[in-house]
Structure 1
Amino acid sequence: MPNERHPLGIIMLDIAIERPPGDVGHSASWPFEVIFKTVPGATARKVVGGDDADLMDAFVAAGEVLRAQGAVGLTTSCGFLASRQRELSARMTLPLATSSLLQLPMVERCLPRGRRAGVITYDADALTERHFTSVGADPSTPVAGLPPDGGLRAHIEHGQPYDRDRIGNDICSAVRALLANNRDIGALVFECTNLPPFSNEVSREFGLPVYDILTLGRWFHSGLIQGAASQSFGTGQA
């Protein structure tokens, strides 16, 4: 029987950063094959700030390159692309899951009565109502952001060395602030695709389930590969 390839395609922002295991852009983070395509000019600040309308054609083109390379579905390396979920998925040939925030409605419905999900994000000031409504989530979802002068933004936007301890401390501080202000949090969703290297330790420390781009990607891919060897998306033929 031939060796079938069913990789997940990951559309990457145009940033040169260290990506440890657990990061969306490290192939060892995934239990299946992944392939990557960078969108030129898609800087972190441009996308996080929502100044990315002129990049949509390039995102679609990157998705088509990944399809041609054998991808069975697509995701991205920035959770802020949640605001473009409907626009981009409508234009892609393959199924697209832009952001870990897509998990919010399902997570909320799975929690006990009186509990809700909270979001840890790269930039709380930039996360708007549109990011939530575009993925069918509640815009009033509690949010805590990493500090503007913290380790992750220093690395991504200012070229400083990757400092795992500093970034981990920033994440835990954000979680503590979120929980202090919202006593009903029953689960965490990490918006930022660079945070999954810390998901396990955050879950252990705070006793909460953590959902991120990797949990989304594993779920998404598990459905995409059902019958992928014999089915072409968009043809309706097995």
Structure 2
Amino acid sequence: MNIQSSSSERARLGILMLDSTFPRILGDVGNADTWPFPVRYAIVPGATPHAVVCEDSEPFVQAFIEAGRGLVAEGCTGIATTCGFLAPLRSRLASALGVPVAASSLEQAPQIAACLPADKRVGILTISASTLSSALLQSAGVPPKTPVQGVDGGSFAKCILGNETRLDVAAARAEMEAGAKALVSAHPNVGAILLECTNMVPYAQDIHTATGLPVHSIYGYLRWFHQSLAPSHFDN
């Protein structure tokens, strides 16, 4: 199933959506109004948040490829996904689709780390620390021993992973702030926070206010990614 954004301008960025029913509030990668440019979506049947985050994304590889091919056929020249846990699929998606792929927010970790002072490191806030394996982090190029803090078990995680139809935004905001503070408290040398989960973007400013640190997410990543697909014009 494909969903076009409301803009009549051609969509260069195609976004592969998990099979979800939870609310896509403003700021969420799956809300077309989040983006200052047109996007095109394709839902991957059966690839629910719980299946991808808590089980295994491997059974859905071909389904992601097929959905991606549909987006490329419709004119998309770059593909992204809506889950940080899909980093292991990036190389296969890029090879199969023949276009650049941004599969996970985690892929930014090496560049973020390179920007920080020598005594600082990037820290990751994730929806599920219990299933964010070292192998998955390695597939995204995340530096070894990068600190990770989860919001496992809270109302936000239960809503997203359980595909619930109601999201308590205020509770989710409080959980993000608490998780970020716990990350920084446990690892005082964290100099920037990277949000693994694409659904955490609406709370990025709250996390920044709570910690005073730079906050990176899929939002900044895909704005950078899109700039290469549709470079800005400067009328000189």
Match of 2:198, SS state, is coil
2:143 counterpart of 1:152: no
2:54 counterpart of 1:49: yes
| Aligned partners of 1:46 and 1:52 also within 8 Å | yes
Q: 2:18 aligns with which of 9, 13, 27?
A: 13
Pairwise mapping of residues 1-238 of structure 1 onto structure 2 (< 5 A)?
A: 5-148=10-153, 150-156=154-160, 157=162, 159=164, 161-226=166-231
Any unmatched runs of 5+ in structure 2?
A: 1-7
| Aligned partners of 2:181 and 2:210 also within 8 Å | no
Q: Which amino acid aligns with 2:106?
A: L
| Aligned partners of 1:115 and 1:186 also within 8 Å | yes
Q: Which amino acid aligns with 1:107?
A: I
Counterparts of 1:183 and 1:128, CA distance in 2: 23
Q: Deviation per CA, 1:20-77, whole angstroms, max 9, x where unpaired?
A: 1100001111111111000000011111134221211110011111111221201101
Counterparts of 1:164 and 1:226, CA distance in 2: 35
Q: Which amino acid aligns with 1:218?
A: R
Match of 2:123, SS state, is strand
Q: Which amino acid aligns with 1:144?
A: Q
Q: Which runs of 4+ in 1 moved over 6 A?
A: none
TM-score, normalization by structure 2: 0.90
Counterparts of 1:97 and 1:36, CA distance in 2: 14
| Aligned partners of 1:154 and 1:160 also within 8 Å | no
Q: Deviation per CA, 1:175-206, whole angstroms, max 9, x where unpaired?
A: 11111110101000000010000111211221
- Shift in Å, 1:158: 5.5
Q: Deviation per CA, 1:115-159, whole angstroms, max 9, x where unpaired?
A: 1100000100110112221122213110000132x1112212062
Counterparts of 2:55 and 2:99, CA distance in 1: 24
Q: Which amino acid aligns with 1:155?
A: C
Q: Which amino acid aligns with 1:61?
A: E
Counterparts of 1:160 and 1:31, CA distance in 2: 26
Q: Which amino acid aligns with 2:48?
A: T
